[in-house]
């Protein structure tokens, strides 16, 4: 009888403090500033309080995928291209 493959469980790192999360925070803040928008401007576009933007830019909270897409689109950018910048190896 064939052997059943059972992958070893791996521990997921704390993504709130990961280098990728920090880079995402930095990229979103840089994009916002390059568009001449304040945190309040972005928040108003998203119908959220300004603290929502402050918390994801400051690393106090993560964005889920749906929120990430909404934020990047509110900033006039392509979500897929922004993700590529986080994982670019060149």
CA 29 vs CA 6, 12, 35, 83, 84: distances in Å: 41, 26, 10, 14, 16
At residue 63, the 3 state secondary structure works out as coil
CATH number for 25-87 (one of 1.10.260.40, 3.10.20.600, 2.40.10.220, 3.40.50.720): it is: 1.10.260.40
Q: CA separation (Å) from 4 to 1, 7, 16?
A: 9, 10, 34
* DSSP secondary structure code for residue 47 in this structure: T
pTM (two decimals) = 0.79
Rounded distance between C-alpha atoms, residue 26 and residue 47, angstroms: 22
How is the chain split into domains, by residue range? 25-87
Q: What tens-digit pLDDT sequence spans the chain (90 residues)?
A: 556 656 666 665 566 678 889 999 999 999 999 999 999 999 999 999 999 999 999 999 999 999 999 999 999 999 999 999 887 765
- pLDDT at site 10: 62
């Amino acid at each position: 009888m064939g052997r059943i493959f059972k992958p070893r469980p791996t521990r997921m790192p704390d993504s709130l403090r990961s280098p990728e999360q920090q880079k995402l925070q930095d990229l979103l803040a840089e994009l916002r500033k390059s568009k001449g928008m304040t945190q309040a401007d972005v928040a108003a576009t998203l119908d959220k309080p300004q603290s929502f933007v402050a918390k994801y830019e400051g690393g106090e909270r993560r964005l889920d995928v749906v929120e990430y897409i909404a934020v990047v689109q509110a900033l006039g950018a392509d979500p897929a291209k922004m993700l590529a910048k986080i994982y670019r190896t060149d």
